[in-house]
Amino acid sequence: METADPRNSVPPGRVAPFYGFVAAVAVLALLVSAGPLIELPGRLAGLPVAFWTMAALAVVCDARPFVPPGRRQSSAVFPSTCFTFAILLGWGLGPAVAVQTIAVVVSGWRMGHSAWRSGFNAAQYACALAAAAAVTGLGPGGIFEGGHLGWSDVLAVGGAAAAWFVVNYGLVSTAIRWRFGGRWWPGFRSGLGYELISTGSLLLLAPVLVTAARASAALIPLVLVPLFAVYRMAHLAAEQEQLGALDPLTGLPNRKALLAEVAEQVHLHAERAARGEPDAHLALLLIDLDRFKNVNDALGHAVGDRLLVEVSARLAGAVGERDLLARLGGDEFAIVSTGLTGVDAARETAERLVGALAEPVELDGLPLDVGGSIGIALYPEHGEDFATLMRHADVAMYDAKQRSDTVAVYAAESDHNSAERLGLLADLRRVLEAGPAGRDDGRGAAGVRGGDGAALSAALAPAVAGRGGAGRSTGGSARWGARRHRERSGPAHPDELIQRIVTAADPIRRRAAATDTGPEQPADTGPEQPADTGPEQPAEPGGGGATEADPGTGPGAGAAYAEPTGRRPGPDEPGNPGEITMYYQPQVAIATGEVVGVEALLRWRHPRRGMVDPEELIRVAEQSAVMRLLTRRVVDDVVEQLAKWSAAGISLRAALNVSVRDLHTGEIADQIADRLARFGVRPERLQLEITEGALMADPRRVLATISRLHAIGVAIALDDFGTGYSSMQHLRRLPLSEVKVDRSFVLGMADDADDAAIVRSMIELAGALGLRVVAEGVEDERTWRLLHAAGCDVAQGWFYARPMPAEELAAWLARYRPLRPAAREAESRPPRAR
C-alpha cells in the first residue's frame, strides 16, 4: 500500500549510502549541540518570558505549515525558522536547538513524516543553528547584550543567517543526491531561488523580533500580524489560482491544472521507477466527443452546455479515485491515470470511459447519442513531460477517429507531424523555391535538357520519329502522384541499399512501406526494374535489360521490347542532391502495342535521406501551402518536357494529377493555360487526372475548375476508378475522356474471379459512355491478355516498362518494338466466376 508521502521510502540499492549519510548528520548534530543542551536544564529558570513566548509560537506555527500552490509537500514553509533563529541570537544555541527539535516533531507528526525523516530534519536544523552560532561568536561579543548595535554586529547577524542557510540547504540537497542519485549541482540549483525567498525572509525577520523582545515581550505576538497577512495573502492567491485552474462550466480542472498534475505525477512516478516498483506508469488519455457539433448546430449551445455537464458527471464516475479528470475546452476532456502497470491497464481505464458514454444522454425527453474517441499516451514510453504526452495523446486520438475506432494507443508511425516530417517539409519548400537546375525558356529543341534536367540527344530524334509506336501517339497520361510497382530482382544500387536500411530503421517509413506495398507489389523507388516472374513471361537474367515475349504467341512473337538499365545519379553530382525530378512510365495500346503516352511519377532525392517515398512526399506537402509550390513545379516541368519531346520528334500526350487544394482554388486552370502558351504546346496534348475523392471534397468548386480546363482544351481523366464515391453520377456529369481502372483490381484479376468480373464491368460501362479505359498495374502476360479480351484500350505497368527519366525514355522508345497479344481463345478466356 502506498504511504502517505512517497518521500518516506528509499529506492532499493541506495538504502545503505543514504542512511549512512543520515546517521553521519545525526552524529554531527549531537556533537555540536550536546554541550549547550546539557547546560539547558540549569538555564530554564532564568529564561525570560520573551523566550517562552517565541518557543510557543514556533511550535504552534509549525503545526500548520504553509504549502505554496503548485508545489510538493516537501516545499512547505515552516515559520519556526524565524523564532528559533531569534532565540539563537538572544539566548544561545541550546535553547534554539531544543525548541526547533520540538517544532520538527510536531510538524512531522502533523504531516505524516516517518521517524527517520523527522530525525534527519531535527539534525539538519541543529547543524544549521550551530553554524550560525559559530559565526555570531566571531563578533565583538553578545550581540543583544545591552547597548546599540554596531556595523560589526549587523555583519555578524547577516553572516549567521547566511551560514544557517548554506548548511541547512546543503545538507538537504546532499541527502536528496544520496537518496535518488544523479548530479548534486543541478538539484542544488533548481530550488535555490525559492528557498532564498521563503527561508531567507524568515531568517532576516529574526533580528527585528529580538529587538522587539528587548523592549517588551508583549511586542512579540505582534509579529504574527505580518506573518498572518503574508499567510492569508498566499492563501488568497492559492484560492485564486485554484479558481483559475477550474473549468467554469463543469467545475472540472482545466488545462492549467492538468499541466500541474502531470508534472507532479511524472516526478512521483520517476521515483517509483527508481525504486523498481511495477506501478511506475501513468497514462494521459485524451477524449474527443463524437457528434457534439451536430447537437450544438441542431439544438443550440445551451443544450450543448447541458450535455457537457452531464458527460463530465459520467466520466467523473468512471475514473478512479487517484485519477484526475479535466476539461480542456469545447468537447475535449483529459484524464491522468496514475499507478499503472502498463498499457493494458490504461486500456482498461479507456474501456470504462467508453462504457460510460455508450448510453444516450437524455435531455428534455430527447435521447442524445454521443460517443467518444480516446487517445492514450503512456509515461515513460511515449513521453516524459506534459507537452510530449499531450501531443502524442492527441495523435492517438485522431488515429482512433480515422480508423473509426474508440481507443488508440500512440504509435510513432501514426505521427504525421513529427519533427522529422516538419524538417522534411522545410527541405521540400527550399528545394521548390530554389527551382530546377538549368531551366531554359522552354523553347528548346533536340539536344537541350528535358524536364528532369537530363540532356536529350538530337541523334535520337530521327530514330524515334521513324518508330510507328511513338511517332503516331494519340493519347496517354502522366501522373505525378505516388505509384508503386513490383521490383525486379537483381543487384541493388548502393544508394538503394542505404535507403532500405533507413526504411527498416524508421518506423514511419517502415509502416508506409508495409502498408502501401504488399509482398506482391513493393514500392517503386527508382529505376531498378523488378522481374515479372510469372510462368508466362520469365525475366531475363540480370533484371534490368531486354525482356523477351514468349515465342509463338502471336504477331508479336519474338519481338523484344528493351529497357535501358541506366545509372542512378550519385548524391554528390551537380544538380541531383535535393532535386525534384520526374520519372515517366509508358502507356501502351493493348491491341496494337503502340506507345500512346507516358505517366509521370514525382521523385525527390533528399541529400540526407536518399530517395523520399512518393506517398510520404505528397502526404507531407498536401496539408500545407507547399502543395501549391509543388503543383507549379510539376506543371512547369511536364509542359516544358512536352515541348522538348516535340522538338525531338516525340509526340506524346501527358496528364497531370493535381491536389484537391488546387482544384478548389481554380488557379490551376490559369497556370496551365499560361504554360501551354509559353511553351507552345497544344492543349489536347495535356490531360488532367482527378480522383473521385477530390470530387467529393467540394463538388461545386471542383466542377467549376474542371469545366474551365475542359474549355481550354485540356482532357479530363477519372483516376482510380472504382475506389471512390458516386461513380455513375460523375461519369454522367463530368466532361471526361478517359477512366483509369485502379491497380487494386487489375493486380488480382488473373487469379481472382471477382476482380476479373469487376474489371470487365468497368470496361463495359466506360465503353458504353464512349470513354477510353486505361488499366494500371499490369504485371504479367496473363493479365495483359485478359484485359485485351475484355476490350481494355490502354495498359501500363511493369509488364511493359518501368518509370524512367526523360533521357532514358527517349532511348527506350528508340529500341521499342510493338508487342501485340495473340488471339488464342484458351489463354484469353477469363476465369470462371464463383
Other CB atoms within a 10 A radius of the CB of residue 691 amount to 21
Query: What is the rounded distance in angstroms from the CA atom of residue 772 to the CA atom of residue 766?
Result: 7
Query: What is the rounded distance in angstroms from the CA atom of residue 272 to the CA atom of residue 10?
Result: 10
Rounded to 10 degrees, what is the CA torsion of 31, 33, 36, 38?
-70
Query: What is the rounded distance in angstroms from the CA atom of residue 263 to the CA atom of residue 613?
Result: 38
Catalytic residue among 776, 779, 807, 808: 776
In this structure, which amino acid lies at residue 376?
A: I
Q: What is the 3-state secondary structure (H, E, C) of 779-828?
A: CCHHHHHHHHHHCCCEECCCCCCCCECHHHHHHHHHHCCCCCCCCCHHHH
Task: For residue 663, give the 3-state DSSP assignment.
Answer: helix
Query: What is the rounded distance in angstroms from the CA atom of residue 80 to the CA atom of residue 56?
Result: 10
Task: For residue 753, give the 3-state DSSP assignment.
Answer: helix
Task: For residue 46, give the 3-state DSSP assignment.
Answer: helix
Task: For residue 678, give the 3-state DSSP assignment.
Answer: helix
Q: Residue 575 carries which DSSP code?
A: T
- The residue assigned the cell 494507443 is 409
First to last CA, the chain: 64
List, in sequence order, every beta strand (DSSP E) within 7-96.
none
- The residue assigned the cell 544523479 is 182
Query: What is the rounded distance in angstroms from the CA atom of residue 557 to the CA atom of residue 458?
Result: 31
Rounded to 10 degrees, what is the CA torsion of 238, 244, 247, 248?
100
Other CB atoms within a 10 A radius of the CB of residue 465 amount to 14
Task: For residue 832, give the 3-state DSSP assignment.
Answer: coil
Length of the chain counted residue by residue: 834
For residues 92 and 84, is the Cβ–Cβ distance under 8 A?
no
Query: What is the rounded distance in angstroms from the CA atom of residue 536 to the CA atom of residue 643?
Result: 38
Pairing assessment for the beta strands 610-611 and 595-606 based on DSSP bridges: antiparallel
Comparing C-alpha atoms, which of 556, 540, 547, 590 is closest to residue 796? 590
Query: What is the rounded distance in angstroms from the CA atom of residue 209 to the CA atom of residue 222?
Result: 9
Cross-strand pairs, 767: none
Q: What is the 3-state secondary structure (H, E, C) of 156-185?
A: HHHHHHHHHHHHHHHHHHHHHHHHHCCCHH
Give one DSSP letter per residue of 267-280, joined into a string: HHHHHHHHHT-S--
Phi and psi of 550, rounded to 5°? -65, 125
Active site annotation includes 776: yes
Task: For residue 112, give the 3-state DSSP assignment.
Answer: coil
The edge-to-edge listing of strands for the beta sheet with 332-340 is: 324-329, 332-340, 281-289, 372-379, 407-409
Query: What is the rounded distance in angstroms from the CA atom of residue 155 to the CA atom of residue 804?
Result: 85
Q: Residue 7 carries which DSSP code?
A: G
Query: What is the rounded distance in angstroms from the CA atom of residue 616 to the CA atom of residue 613?
Result: 5
Phi and psi of 77, rounded to 5°? -100, 125
Phi and psi of 651, rounded to 5°? -105, 105
State the maximum Cα–Cα separation within the chain, in Å, rounded to a whole number.
127
Rounded to 10 degrees, what is the CA torsion of 730, 731, 732, 737?
120
Which residues belong to the active site?
776
